[in-house]
């Protein structure tokens, strides 16, 4: 059997045309002669993947984006011959969005499914433009989305990052106190990582290129407090994170992803 069609090639086209989730499932899920197994997982059968990866998406009310994202990311992960599962962690209710806490919940819940060693934390609106950007966990935490089209491919924090299980536990995950837009990634990449003596690695801006799907932004009032919260999050790092999470969930496996619907307690 020829497998060269499945190898990464470098720059890839990003289709932003909208499809219904059911139509995407018909294209790629195992149930319809595709390859993605129920729950949004795949692993190579010809060889053993080096590491098991959980890709975690924070989510609320971005239905068009998640279909586009899944249609794009599944083939890329397969080309990289990864043993992976995609989790979408959806925040229930009307409290300001808490992206960081959803990532922490995704980390904990994913470990109930499998012994994942590598975690990729991924915004739903970022589409990799180069399939040689490795979805893996090197020896230091990795900021993968270094060049985003919306920011003229200049370097910013946030977007997509990967951590080994050990490193994410060492930094106590993300801070849970950033409700609304902003702050959580600066705290993670600038403060939590360095406080534990870790360094951040990055792919080149050629490999780490991403296209951002367009969306009208509604900024929450809580973003006004984010600078004050940065100091608090740094001081309280050892008690605020994975070890202080409170939530309840409902978990459902869909053809292209595992959905974790999370009720976040302590909403502001
Ligand atoms: N999200 C939702 N629903 C929401 C809000 C956010 O699903 O109502 C999720 C999505 O996965 C989205 C991600 O959170 O991709 C980031 O939210 P936005 O797209 O609203 O924010 P930005 O595009 O401005 O994102 C940038 C960075 C993020 C993060 C954010 C600040 O790309 O990584 O740092 O700023 O919170």
Spell out the residues 6+ positions from residue 220 whose beta carbon is closer than 8 angstroms to its own.
Answer: 96, 97, 179, 180, 181
* Dist CA 245 CA 128 (whole Å): 30
pLDDT at 84: 98
pLDDT at 3: 45
Give the residue among 7, 123, 4 at the shortest CA–CA distance from 69: 123
Helices (H), 99-222: 99-110, 165-170, 184-186, 193-195
| pLDDT at residue 170 is higher than 90 | yes
**Tell me: the pLDDT tens digits for 192-216?**
999 999 999 999 999 999 999 987 5
List, chain by chain if needed, residues with CB within 6 Å of any ligand 1 atom: 57-62, 97, 99, 123-125, 158-159, 181-182, 184-185, 217
Reported confidence tier of residue 62, pLDDT bands at 50, 70, 90: very high
pLDDT at 4: 46
Q: Give the mean pLDDT of the chain.
A: 91
Give the residue among 101, 79, 82, 83 at the shortest CA–CA distance from 92: 101
With beta carbons less than 8 A apart as the criterion, state whether 99 and 58 touch.
Answer: yes
pLDDT at 164: 98
pLDDT at 190: 85
| Per-residue CA distances from 107 to 12, 37, 114 (Å) | 29, 20, 11
Residue 36 is classified by DSSP as: B
Give the residue among 126, 263, 243, 121 at the shortest CA–CA distance from 188: 121
Please state, for a pLDDT cut of 70, what percent of the chain lies above it: 93
| pLDDT at residue 217 is higher than 60 | no
| pLDDT at residue 2 is higher than 50 | no
pLDDT at 68: 97
* Dist CA 20 CA 212 (whole Å): 19
Using only C-alpha atoms, the chain has a radius of gyration, in whole angstroms, of: 18
| β-pair type (118-122, 142-143) | unpaired
C-alpha 4 – ligand 1 centre gap (Å): 35
C-alpha 5 – ligand 1 centre gap (Å): 33
Q: Which of 25-34, 129-138, 212-221 has the lowest mean pLDDT?
A: 212-221
Give the residue among 116, 141, 123 at the shortest CA–CA distance from 56: 123
Alpha carbons within 13 angstroms on the beta-carbon side of residue 6 total: 14
C-alpha 123 – ligand 1 centre gap (Å): 6
To test the pocket of ligand 1, the residue of 125, 187, 208 to mutate (highest count of ligand atoms within 8 Å of its CB) is 125
* Dist CA 252 CA 184 (whole Å): 27
**Tell me: the pLDDT tens digits for 115-156?**
999 999 999 999 999 999 999 999 999 999 999 998 877 777
What's the complex ipTM?
0.97
C-alpha 226 – ligand 1 centre gap (Å): 15
To test the pocket of ligand 1, the residue of 69, 99, 225 to mutate (highest count of ligand atoms within 8 Å of its CB) is 99
At 136 the three-state DSSP class reads coil
Spell out the residues 6+ positions from residue 15 whose beta carbon is closer than 8 angstroms to its own.
Answer: 68, 71, 72
Phi-psi region of 235 (alpha: psi -120 to 50; beta: other; left: phi over 0): alpha
């Amino acid at each position: 059997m020829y497998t060269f069609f499945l190898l990464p090639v470098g720059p890839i086209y990003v289709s932003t045309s909208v499809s219904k989730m059911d139509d995407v499932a018909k294209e790629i899920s195992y149930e319809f002669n595709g390859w993605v197994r129920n729950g949004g997982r795949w692993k190579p059968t010809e060889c053993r993947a080096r590491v098991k990866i959980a890709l975690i998406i924070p989510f609320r009310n971005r239905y068009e984006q998640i279909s586009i994202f899944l249609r794009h990311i599944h083939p890329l992960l397969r080309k990289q011959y990864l043993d992976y599962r995609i989790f979408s962690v959806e925040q229930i209710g009307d409290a300001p969005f808490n992206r960081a806490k959803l990532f922490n919940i995704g980390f904990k819940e994913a470990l109930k499914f499998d012994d994942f060693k590598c975690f990729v934390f991924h915004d739903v609106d970022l589409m990799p433009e180069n399939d040689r950007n490795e979805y893996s966990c090197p020896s230091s935490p990795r900021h993968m989305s270094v060049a985003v089209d919306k920011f003229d491919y200049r370097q910013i924090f946030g977007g997509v990052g990967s951590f080994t299980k050990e490193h994410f536990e060492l930094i106590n995950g993300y801070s849970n106190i950033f409700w609304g837009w902003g702050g959580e990634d600066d705290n993670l990449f600038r403060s939590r990582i360095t406080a534990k003596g870790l360094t951040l690695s990055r792919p080149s801006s050629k490999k780490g290129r991403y296209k951002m799907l367009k969306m009208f932004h509604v900024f929450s009032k809580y973003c006004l407090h984010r600078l004050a919260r940065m100091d608090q999050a740094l001081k309280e790092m050892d008690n605020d994170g994975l070890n202080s999470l409170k939530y309840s969930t409902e978990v459902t496996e869909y053809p292209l992803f595992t959905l974790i619907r999370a009720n976040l307690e302590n909403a502001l």
